[in-house]
A = this chain, B = another copy of it.
Amino acid sequence: MESDVSANSRLTIAAHALTWIGLYQRRGHEVATSEQIATSVNTNPVVIRRLLGELRKAGLADSRRGAGAGWILARDLAAITLLDIYQAIEPGPVFALHRATPNPECVVGHGIGPAMTAVYDGVEVALRGELAKTTLKDVLRDILQAA
């Protein structure tokens, strides 16, 4: 169970699932089932299907239905960055402004929004730049090298 302090593991799970599909395909298989992926991730198949559904909308994965169905990559592992996955599954920014509008008659309340927005934009750019550096091919390479 736990160990974390409350952060998002969705990016980890999504990268795990796609990398698993990629390795499975590289070994000659056609499709991977959510059941198989869930066994590797150690979770429920529905969790995998939900997540891969979002990745399909983003054009990173695809699925077949009916008998002998399952999941395939929509792109090569080398053409999928962690940024692609992040954008597919993370709806909003890391930091947010106030929930309730601060007092506009106060100088600070009036100007803090734009000031923080500028900083947060820079943070997002830096974060995305870091995630864009790594492709799933890189991730798989690291995994196989460590084995």
Contacts and interface: CB of A to CB of B under 8 A. Distances in A.
Interface in A1-42: 1-9, 11-13, 15-16, 19-20, 23, 39-42
Interface string A23-66: 10000000000000001111100000000000000000000000
Q: How many copies does the complex hold?
A: 2
A74 interface: no
B7 A112 contact: no
A99 B12 CA distance: 10
Contact of A92 (B5, B16, B41): B5
Interface of A: 1-9, 11-13, 15-16, 19-20, 23, 39-43, 82, 91-103, 106-112, 114-116, 118-119, 122-123, 126-127, 129-131, 133-134, 139-140, 142-144, 146-147
A15 B119 CA distance: 12
Contacts of A114: 142, 146
B143 A95 contact: no
Nearest to A125: B130
Contacts of A108: 16, 19-20, 23, 40, 140, 143
A109 B7 contact: no
Given A9-B96, A12-B95, A123-B127, 10 more contacts: A8-B94, A16-B108, A16-B112, A40-B103, A41-B103, A42-B109, A43-B98, A115-B142, A118-B142, A126-B126
22 contacts: A2-B99, A3-B99, A5-B92, A5-B93, A7-B93, A7-B94, A12-B112, A13-B98, A15-B112, A16-B102, A16-B112, A23-B108, A39-B106, A40-B108, A41-B98, A82-B119, A107-B147, A110-B143, A110-B147, A115-B142, A123-B127, A127-B127
